[in-house]
Structure 1
Amino acid sequence: MKATSNLEYLIKKVYSNTIRPSTPILNYFLLKGATPSIFSINTAFTELYLLCHKHVYKKGLELRPYKTINLAGGILAPSTSERSVMSLLKSGSRNILVHQSEPFSTCTGRDSIFGQSITSIKKRHWAQLLYPEGGYQYVLLDYCQQEPAIAACFAFDQKLKAAYQAGDLYLYIGQHPALSHLQRSEVKALVIPRSYGQSPEAYAKEHGIPLAEAQRRWSALREIFNRVDAELNHRSQLAFRDGYVRCRDWAAGVTPLSNPLAVRNWSVQATGADIMRRAVIGLVDAGIDLRLTIHDAFLIRVPIAEQAQQVAKAIAVLKQASSLVLDGFELNVKVDGVFDGQVGMM
């Protein structure tokens, strides 16, 4: 599909983009009504992103020749997702995996990958799959704790913003007396489910802990995120009142049947997508060889001789992209993997 026809499709799509009910059967009643055509998109910016997106995804990823892949590490059979990629390699002559990515695919404006993809395979196996040409490496860059940082910016929560910029937000959260006995991974496994609406009862059952302990942890998070919760609740109330929610590049209709939790979290997710699009454009403009985006992560291909310079330039671009969307606040960026074609991740 050409960029122009893609743009025309997106202009039509944004008019009918609506946050769905939490109960699937209610979609029937939602679809019976009309969604108000009250928003538009920046066509010049969107067309530029579509061109960059097409440029990125036409190149594909170089993968190890099929016969040398041993994902399972011995006699264990590979998983279904691993077999699907291996079968694709078996039928290809160049061992190039071209991902089928659809821009603005989700309700929040995020891109989605359809069909066979390296993203369906656990990252620990990527070193056995990615096989760049000699003299090159793949480097995975990732925004750190993107969603809670975005929410802190929305709420103008200076304590959370300062803690984030100082290092690790999860370590800061773990300093609360009710959470200090938890490991960082446990704090992360607490914060993220709560932000998506998990109840203390469900959390207690999932982790096999007393309900009273789960409630203490939830109470601690309410103290820590009180400004964030108030801001997201306020945005949700406005969305239901006005009948829509929007970010810089995208929008969605909101009806009385829309899932309240999806409405509440929409702005955080959509803002992450705004940042991703500016990062993609910035990387392409800077001459960085971007090959794949995965939510808030970016897989780039760099010459080994220029690795330090190009990675530093890419990180600067990602930080600038977040600053453009978050009114000057820069998200932290980390190197989450280096893949040079050797077995093992550096």
Structure 2
Amino acid sequence: MAAENLVSGEIKTVWLEGEVSPPSPFSFSERDLYVAFYASAEMGCHLALNWEMPPNILDLYVECRNLFNGHPTLHTTRSLINVASALRVSGTTTSAYKEDMRDRIQQGSPYTPVEKKKILEYCYSDVAITKDLYRKLQSNLDIPRALLRGKYMAAVAMMERNGVPLDTKSFTQLKRGMDTGSLQKNITREANRQFDVYDGVVFKLEKFEKYLRRVNMPWPRTATGRLSLDHDTFKEQTRIFPEIQFLKDARYTLGKLRLKKIPVGIDGRTRTLISPFSAKTGRNQPSSNQFIFSPAVWLRGLIKPEKGTGIAYIDYDQQEIAIAAALSKDSNLTHSYKSGDPYLTFGKAAGLIPEDATKKSHYNEREKFKICFLASQYGMKENTFARYGNIPIPQARGLLRNHKKLYEEYWAWSDNVFNMANITGKIQTCFGWTMLTKYQKESSIRNFPMQAHGSEILRLACCLILEAGIKVCAPVHDAILIESPLETLEETVKETQSLMSRAGEIVLEGFNVTTSAEIIKYPDRYQDPRGIDMWDKIGEYLGGWESDD
């Protein structure tokens, strides 16, 4: 370990190998600033060694992401060496040198005295680059807001260390089934029974075309006219047409699921890098191959609390609509959100459905209103809306017109946000997360305030919850998974929901974003409703799920 005091110039190097619990070389005051590049790594080390966490963290990785977010080349530059090189920071080392040193460190002991000296010099080389990078960027940094982002990096280290509890017997059983190939055959057989789109285990485009024509389902196409088959397209289509959920999960399971890549510790918990601030909106982007909350929602059935504990999945209710209402100060949109079902409220206010309509009685109409809300936030045009909603273009045009009339304050605000972003070349959240707009699509700019403020809310919520001593297993888009002993679970859930509401009120100046909690107590397991069909089918193929009970 290497560090430098930027005021006194004192350099500290500590060889930690073989130390069970070495004393911390640091003693922090409330005025000290801890400067790092990707601070969650350092904070993970502090937690493992039971060292004091610094009160003020400035993470130059995050701040560089913020300064160049949306730039066509610089926003993808993420390693310390590449960032320093791009910004012409002096004294940078080479990637080859770093790879050689990392390879030697990972080989493990014994190390010769010469190797120990070289490794400590290697550690300090990163410190020297970080120091020069800080001095180069110092005048461009918004320190108060940067410290809030640094606080979240410490929270990330805590959540990555906590991990998510799994049913290891079910996980092992699933791996055996995948390794033999029997599961794949059964999944394709069931997918063909429902959709008839596979030839063996190969997904056939022409068969999928026939299925879409048979059920009259619209589907996006690429610029060349071919059907779009990427995961994001399937994800969006499944939101509109939930009947294809099994096919979406089957495609991911057969094509991309690699159980060997899901890390499971000897304590039966899965841990992966949360990858904070990776999206342009500032959201986390953990690896889809390693994160248990992956695109295959049925896999979440492996999540199971340990004996004597429970977990709770606490989700913000229709967060994007709440944020749009709060930021635009649209009274009608606020009323729609607070009604509990903004889609039906919109339809009733626009005179499109009767006042006594319910989700059950007017399901199809409600789905179209829901797509209309999505269309408004993404800047979707009437032709695209018509395709997604499977409705005639005149009907799509009419729904959008009704939306703009009812929520005219929102639309005026959205237009102003878009115009100002084009004039200034950037768009920001209330806490300063920034995206450069010159190279962005209109839909990305219009949707940025909702997504990026949602990210701000979740980050602040995670910090507040962890500071309250509550165990957070993972953040999941606009939800949080917590864990607690059974005897205090109900109380902990209420406290978590209160803190999540508080985070929303801080970011949105008093606007209350409500939450819903799903509580799972041992020996039950967590399950996403969208994945139950696939989970049950796979359990059937395996001859019944084994469990840690």
Query: TM-score by structure 2 length?
Result: 0.54
Counterpart in the other structure of 1:227: 409
- Consecutive unaligned residues of structure 2, counting only runs of 5 or more, are 2-33, 39-58, 74-138, 189-248, 355-361, 529-549
* Maintained 8 Å contact 1:60/1:291: yes
Residue identity in the other structure for 2:163: G
Using the TM superposition, name which of 140-149 and 329-338 deviates more.
329-338
Q: CA RMSD in A?
A: 3.2
Alignment: residue pair count: 330
SS of the residue 2:37 aligns to = helix
Counterparts of residues 217-296 of structure 1 (less than 5 Å)? 217-247=399-429, 248-255=431-438, 257-296=439-478
Distance (Å, rounded) in 1 between the aligned partners of 2:365 and 2:492: 34
Residue identity in the other structure for 1:48: K
User: Is the aligned partner of 1:201 residue 2:375?
Assistant: no
Q: Rate the CA distance shift 1:156–1:194 in 2: closer, same or farther, 3 A.
A: closer
Q: Rate the CA distance shift 1:11–1:90 in 2: closer, same or farther, 3 A.
A: closer
User: Is the aligned partner of 1:67 residue 2:172?
Assistant: yes
Distance (Å, rounded) in 1 between the aligned partners of 2:471 and 2:252: 26
Q: Rate the CA distance shift 1:92–1:308 in 2: closer, same or farther, 3 A.
A: closer
Q: Deviations over 1:23-70 (max 9, x none)?
A: xxxxxxxxxxxxxx9663523222211111111112211211223448
* Maintained 8 Å contact 1:170/1:187: yes
Higher Rg of the two aligned structures:
2
* Residue 156 (structure 1) aligned to one of 310, 316, 329: 329
* Residue 53 (structure 1) aligned to one of 156, 171, 177: 156
Using the TM superposition, name which of 81-90 and 233-242 deviates more.
81-90
Q: Rate the CA distance shift 1:166–1:210 in 2: closer, same or farther, 3 A.
A: closer
How far has the Cα of 1:5 moved from its partner? 1.8
Q: Deviations over 1:12-33 (max 9, x none)?
A: 2222222669xxxxxxxxxxxx
Distance (Å, rounded) in 2 between the aligned partners of 1:206 and 1:284: 40
* Residue 76 (structure 1) aligned to one of 187, 190, 199: 187
Residue identity in the other structure for 1:165: K
How far has the Cα of 1:338 moved from its partner? 3.2
Distance (Å, rounded) in 2 between the aligned partners of 1:96 and 1:3: 31
User: Is the aligned partner of 1:309 residue 2:361?
Assistant: no
* Maintained 8 Å contact 2:314/2:480: yes
How far has the Cα of 1:122 moved from its partner? 4.5
* Maintained 8 Å contact 1:155/1:228: yes
SS of the residue 1:198 aligns to = coil
Counterpart in the other structure of 1:142: 315
Distance (Å, rounded) in 2 between the aligned partners of 1:57 and 1:318: 20
Counterpart in the other structure of 1:5: 37
Q: Deviations over 1:205-234 (max 9, x none)?
A: 334322222222222212222211110110
Residue identity in the other structure for 2:387: K
How far has the Cα of 1:189 moved from its partner? 2.9
Counterpart in the other structure of 1:40: 142
Residue identity in the other structure for 1:146: Q
SS of the residue 1:178 aligns to = coil
* Maintained 8 Å contact 2:252/2:296: no
* Maintained 8 Å contact 1:142/1:335: yes
* Maintained 8 Å contact 1:139/1:300: yes
Counterpart in the other structure of 1:25: none
Distance (Å, rounded) in 2 between the aligned partners of 1:44 and 1:50: 10
User: Is the aligned partner of 1:120 residue 2:152?
Assistant: no
Residue identity in the other structure for 1:152: A
Distance (Å, rounded) in 1 between the aligned partners of 2:523 and 2:375: 35
Q: Deviations over 1:290-311 (max 9, x none)?
A: 1111111111112222221011
Distance (Å, rounded) in 2 between the aligned partners of 1:90 and 1:271: 31
* Maintained 8 Å contact 1:130/1:339: no
How far has the Cα of 1:326 moved from its partner? 0.6
Q: Rate the CA distance shift 1:107–1:53 in 2: closer, same or farther, 3 A.
A: same
Distance (Å, rounded) in 2 between the aligned partners of 1:134 and 1:179: 49
SS of the residue 1:245 aligns to = strand
SS of the residue 1:113 aligns to = coil
How far has the Cα of 1:143 moved from its partner? 0.7
SS of the residue 2:187 aligns to = coil
Distance (Å, rounded) in 1 between the aligned partners of 2:411 and 2:186: 50
- Consecutive unaligned residues of structure 1, counting only runs of 5 or more, are 22-36
* Residue 212 (structure 1) aligned to one of 394, 415, 418: 394
Identical-pair percentage = 23
How far has the Cα of 1:118 moved from its partner? 1.7
SS of the residue 2:513 aligns to = coil
Residue identity in the other structure for 1:5: F
Distance (Å, rounded) in 2 between the aligned partners of 1:125 and 1:221: 37
Using the TM superposition, name which of 137-146 and 189-198 deviates more.
189-198
Query: TM-score by structure 1 length?
Result: 0.83
Distance (Å, rounded) in 2 between the aligned partners of 1:290 and 1:85: 26
